[in-house]
Structure 1
């Protein structure tokens, strides 16, 4: 059996209960040593699991709506590789990946290829590819789970690189929000205030689909709080942590929507 750590890691990323049941079934049948067809049955379960995961995270209509999608003449709808690519990049354009993220789209395609080719070979058991030994069965199960783990890790890596590439634009979106919006938390502690430098600490991609990219990030904002009258005003300078969510079109991911930007500021240190 694959390591429990690998099993738990994959299970935690599966999208629904059906996926988890398929995983349990694929692994359980491997323990039936008196079942001569256990490898075939496990392979079938893994194949269905992977197909379901990809169809869930990359629905046909969403993948086919992306500007980078090209219909394979031998397949109806997206290929399995195209679904995996969509899960990693959503509707981000080739130009954005190359110019801002520093990834050549063809490199991303190539990186996913070998894992899925091996998985395809292993999950279509035929007389000439039948597992003959316990070692081969163990290797198959490890390979199938590792391919899914690789997909999930690639998704995480891509989102992290995109978030880093967008940091400057995110900082601009937060600055614009502080300038153009009344921040309720700051308004509560001071009737008049001015915001200064905005620093981004931890950008994160919450979701990325064919149409939009949703980002969340934390940071700190410098604030000048004003008390007293206009002629005898007293100023207090401080900085506060904030939490911000915003979104942009996937095809222009640096054009964040001011109307869809929300900011929450933690002023508990001031109250204390």
Structure 2
């Protein structure tokens, strides 16, 4: 869908489209409710803080998604996991959770080498 088409849609149609596109990432009713509330904030034109509220609630939603897709025990059991040394920092960083989600717990160097090997085989044939 082009931006011009999106712009011409009603707010309720925009909310529904955005919700349907993002719902596949969600794993709980709470996350679905948080997404709905976030979108309600975004399209509440009478609220002067709507962008702030939307950004805050989407950040919270992204935190929930990262925690559900990269549980603490799974991330900490990876060979590449190193506990952050900075005081006050979480045991597992967002970067580490994202790395776990992308690489599925495998060592990123191994995955990168496999990608290169697959690419080289593809180029040969």
TM-score by length of 2: 0.70
**Matches of 1:61 and 1:39 in 2, distance apart?**
34
If you compute each CA radius of gyration, which structure gives the higher value, 1 or 2?
1
Matches within 5 A, 1:168-247: none
Secondary structure at 1:73 match in 2 = coil
Counterpart in 2 of 1:27? Answer: 39
Counterpart in 1 of 2:96? Answer: 82
Unaligned stretches of 5+ residues in structure 1: 104-160, 162-272
**Matches of 2:97 and 2:17 in 1, distance apart?**
26
* Structure with a larger share of its residues in helix: 2
**Matches of 1:14 and 1:30 in 2, distance apart?**
19
**Matches of 1:76 and 1:95 in 2, distance apart?**
24
Q: Are the aligned partners of 2:25 and 2:65 in contact in 1 as well (CA < 8 Å)?
A: no
TM-score by length of 1: 0.35
Q: Are the aligned partners of 2:15 and 2:39 in contact in 1 as well (CA < 8 Å)?
A: no
Unaligned stretches of 5+ residues in structure 2: 1-10, 119-125
CA-CA distance at 1:41 after TM superposition: 1.6
CA-CA distance at 1:4 after TM superposition: 5.1
In the alignment, is residue 61 of structure 1 matched against residue 73 of structure 2? yes
When residues 95 and 47 of structure 1 are mapped into structure 2, their CA distance, relative to the original with a 3 A threshold, is: closer
CA-CA distance at 1:17 after TM superposition: 1.2
What is the count of residue pairs matched by the alignment? Answer: 105
Counterpart in 1 of 2:5? Answer: none
Counterpart in 2 of 1:237? Answer: none
Counterpart in 2 of 1:265? Answer: none
**Matches of 1:46 and 1:80 in 2, distance apart?**
15
1:81-120 CA-partner distances (Å, limit 9, x unpaired) = 21111111122124421332339xxxxxxxxxxxxxxxxx
| RMSD between aligned residues | 2.5
* Structure with a larger share of its residues in strand: 1
When residues 29 and 50 of structure 1 are mapped into structure 2, their CA distance, relative to the original with a 3 A threshold, is: same
